[in-house]
Structure formats: structure tokens, C-alpha cells
Homo-oligomer: A and B are copies of this chain.
């Protein structure tokens, strides 16, 4: 430490500060190589702990995704699913159905995208696919949410996360096409398995489903064919209104 007890007397406040700084810089010059390593090592370690602290705060914060309710019912129709469950289900589909992607895809990239694609809903809430009004303000609400949530992470990861989310939203790359296809087919599967409960609740029309789900064909034509034949057609005129 700087020796403030034996410092020259009669110094004023600024003088004390200057003296202390001079002493410190002299000490730094005299510091052995080993001492320097220890000193820098500690700074490095603190930085790393700060990075990890930020990452863990983000991991704890995204726990809230488990409380964002969606409109689809679980296959048994007892309750609606939440965003975290939905995201897990999409990731499972990415693992086991990647052979049906229209173009060859980087599966890790697809999974990363589906895992994070709904994080903004922690603040912005879930907007039902066929809610015309809600979908108008969706983008603005979601960008604000991304700004807050993504930036809990260290800057480099926040940037990558933002890029990943944007890629999913823009739906232009093969990976985003496939991820979006999965995001559309999963609720259709749940709806079919739960006897079209959510379709009935929202009085969904066939034209709405066809309009919205052209995206499945864009990313996974074989899955679209399957969805049409096995999941949608059996419900037309029943849970799905035929117009």
C-alpha cells in the first residue's frame, strides 16, 4: 500500500492524491514479473467471473419463458402449453426430422434458433397466429423486449443472439426456413392430437391455415404434404371451418 502515514506534511487534498498516485506508479515500476502476473491474473479472473455472472443472470431470467402461455393444447387437451415446452418440442423435431429440410441445413444452427425464437415473448407476450390486431404491434413490442433481454448477456453473445433471432424472423436462409416450418407444423400436430380444441376455440378457417402455413412448404415440403394429408384434412368441416 501507499505509505500515507509517512507522507510529507502540509499537503492539501489534491496534493495528497498526486503523492499517492506517484507512489503507486513507482511501486508498479518496481513490481516483479511474478507480481505483475498475479495482479493481471486477478483482473482477468474478475472479468471472467463478471462474464459468467452476466450469463447466469440471463439463464435465470429466461426461466420466465416457462410462464408464457400459448394457444395450443398439449396432445391430451388438458392444458395449454407454454413457450419453453414449445421450444423444446421444436428442438426435438429439428433433431429427428432434419432429413425433411428442403435444403441441407446446419442442425445446430436450426436448434439454436428454435430454442431462442420466442424469448422476446417474456416481455411482449404470445400473439396468437390468427390475431390480426395483435400482430400489427407485434414487431415493435418484440424489438423492445429483445433490447432488454438479449443485453443481459455479454456483448458478443448478445449480438449473436440478436442475429439469430433476426435470421429466424426474416426467414430467408435454409436454416430459418426449416425452423419456421417446424414452428408452424408443431401446433398443427398438437391441434390434431387434441381433437382440434384450439382450432374450435378460435373458430379457425381452412383458408387461414392454408395462408399461414405456406411457410411449411417453403422449409419442408414433405412435412407440408404430411400435415395436409394426415393432420389438416381429417379435421376439415369438423374442428376447422371449411371456407
Contact = CB atoms under 8 A, between A and B. Distances in A.
A91 interface: yes
A57 to B, nearest CB: 10
Interface stretch (A6-14, A111-119, A131-139, A200-208): A111-119
A189 interface: yes
Contacts of A238: none
A2 interface: no
A135 to B, nearest CB: 25
A63 B75 contact: yes
A189 B92 contact: no
B56 A189 contact: yes
A52 B88 contact: no
Which 10 interchain pairs have the tightest Cβ spacing? A88-B88, A108-B108, A63-B75, A84-B85, A66-B85, A84-B88, A87-B88, A60-B193, A95-B112, A91-B115
